[in-house]
């Protein structure tokens, strides 16, 4: 089989060489900004994990509550007298961890269902896709709220409920990609020379739909970071670990709004926006760079 592939280069198979893709991604303004933001926040999360121990010390006197930014407290203090700057650094890891883990879970599940459904078609496909339709129709945030309210509080629950509500998107996208890939000449030829079905999926179909998977995963990570913040704000996150959402929830419940304590409200929100935007831009650039067929059209 290998010999046949060697004499006839797989026409119709559009692959992207990794090195070229990297160069294009860095040259794409949205890609470069997104990647820079991603690296910055992962760095921030690592620095926060090294420098601080959870939980942070609270203020010693009642005078240290909601202090405005100053030389000592660069971003002021919160309702418990904690240093907001420290909290933001310490909280970065939760966003990054939840974003990546929930996406990894959802993408693996979605990709598995999408590939199986698209490649094996027939009754398997109908059952899986009807299931996906139903899951897609469920209201995501209310479902997350209900699940997180019933399950034990913690980071694992947060990751789980975000993943449970975000796999149908990738499943649909990947199935569509597989369907269009399956009928291409080079796949038919592989099958004709006796290549096994699973090998075709693993060796040809999966690499071909990888651009779709990656671009979608970047978008899912953005959504996961948002959802983690929302769950934390609604009091359904991990209450024991500092995160940007917890910071906002504590400040809101602690009366930061009425006090006009903008320094507890604005910076953590900006961090969430910047991280989410990084992933959104990255996804946008990835689909441009990794999808030569899209570009051609």
Partner 1 sequence: MRTGSLKSIVAKRLLQLAITLVVVATINFWLFRVLPGSPLLEITREGRLSPAAVRELSKSFGLNRSVGYQYFDYLTHIFAFNTGLSYSSQEPVTSLLFPALVHTLILVAAAEFLIAVFGIWFGVRAGAKPGSFLDNTIVTSALGLWSLPTFWAAMLLQLLFAVLLPIFPIFGMQSTSSQGSSAGHIADIFMHLVLPAVSLAIVSYGQVVLILRNSMTEIVGEGFVLGVRAKGVRERKVLWGHVVPNAFLPTLTVLVLSAQFLLAGTIQVEVVFSWPGLGLLMVQAVNTRDLPVLEAAFFLIAVVVVALNLVADLLYAWIDPRIRFR
Binding positions for partner 1, rule: CB under 8 A? 130, 133-134, 137-143, 145-147, 149-150, 222, 226, 229-230, 233-236, 248, 252, 257-258, 260, 262, 265-266, 269, 272-273, 276-277, 280-281, 284
Considering beta carbons, is residue 36 or 47 the nearer one to partner 1? Answer: 36
**Shortest distance (Å) from residue 137 CB to partner 1:** 5
Nearest to 5 by CA among 157, 193, 248, 133: 193
**Shortest distance (Å) from residue 226 CB to partner 1:** 6
**Shortest distance (Å) from residue 183 CB to partner 1:** 18
**Shortest distance (Å) from residue 197 CB to partner 1:** 26
Considering beta carbons, is residue 49 or 147 the nearer one to partner 1? Answer: 147
Is residue 41 within 8 A of residue 281, CB to CB? The reply is no
Cα 54 to Cα 42: distance, rounded to the nearest angstrom: 18
Tokens of 12: 């119709």
**Shortest distance (Å) from residue 98 CB to partner 1:** 14
13 phi and psi angles, rounded to 5 deg: -90, 115
Is residue 249 within 8 A of residue 101, CB to CB? The reply is no
Considering beta carbons, is residue 79 or 205 the nearer one to partner 1? Answer: 79
**Shortest distance (Å) from residue 265 CB to partner 1:** 6
Q: Is the dihedral of CA 172, 157, 229, 282 positive or negative?
A: negative
Cα 275 to Cα 91: distance, rounded to the nearest angstrom: 13
Total residue count of the chain as it appears in this document: 297
Q: Is the dihedral of CA 181, 183, 184, 187 positive or negative?
A: positive
Considering beta carbons, is residue 102 or 140 the nearer one to partner 1? Answer: 140
Considering beta carbons, is residue 107 or 228 the nearer one to partner 1? Answer: 228
Considering beta carbons, is residue 149 or 188 the nearer one to partner 1? Answer: 149
């Amino acid at each position: 089989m290998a010999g046949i592939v060697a004499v006839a280069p797989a026409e119709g198979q559009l692959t992207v060489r990794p090195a070229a893709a990297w160069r294009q991604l860095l040259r794409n303004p949205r890609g470069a900004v997104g990647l820079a933001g991603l690296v910055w926040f992962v760095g921030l999360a690592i620095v926060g994990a090294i420098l601080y121990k959870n939980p942070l010390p609270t203020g010693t006197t009642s005078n240290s509550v909601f202090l405005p930014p100053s030389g000592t407290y660069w971003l002021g203090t919160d309702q418990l007298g904690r240093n907001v700057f420290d909290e933001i650094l310490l909280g970065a890891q939760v966003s990054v961890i939840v974003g990546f883990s929930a996406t990894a879970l959802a993408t693996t599940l979605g990709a598995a269902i999408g590939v199986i459904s698209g490649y094996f078609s027939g009754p398997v496909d109908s059952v899986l896709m009807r299931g996906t339709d139903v899951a897609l129709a469920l209201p995501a945030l209310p479902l997350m709220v209900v699940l997180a309210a019933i399950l034990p509080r913690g980071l694992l629950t947060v990751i789980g409920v975000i993943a449970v509500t975000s796999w149908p998107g990738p499943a649909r996208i990947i199935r569509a990609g597989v369907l269009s890939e399956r009928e291409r000449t080079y796949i038919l030829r592989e099958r004709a020379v006796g290549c096994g079905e699973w090998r075709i999926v693993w060796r040809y179909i999966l690499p071909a739909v990888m651009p779709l998977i990656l671009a979608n995963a970047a978008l899912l990570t953005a959504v996961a970071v948002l959802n983690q913040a929302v769950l934390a704000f609604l009091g359904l996150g991990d209450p024991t670990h500092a995160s940007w959402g917890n910071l906002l929830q504590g400040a809101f419940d602690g009366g930061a709004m009425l006090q006009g304590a903008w320094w507890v409200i604005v910076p953590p929100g900006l961090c969430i926006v910047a991280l989410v935007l990084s992933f959104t831009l990255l996804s946008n650039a990835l689909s441009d760079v990794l999808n030569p067929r899209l570009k051609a059209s």
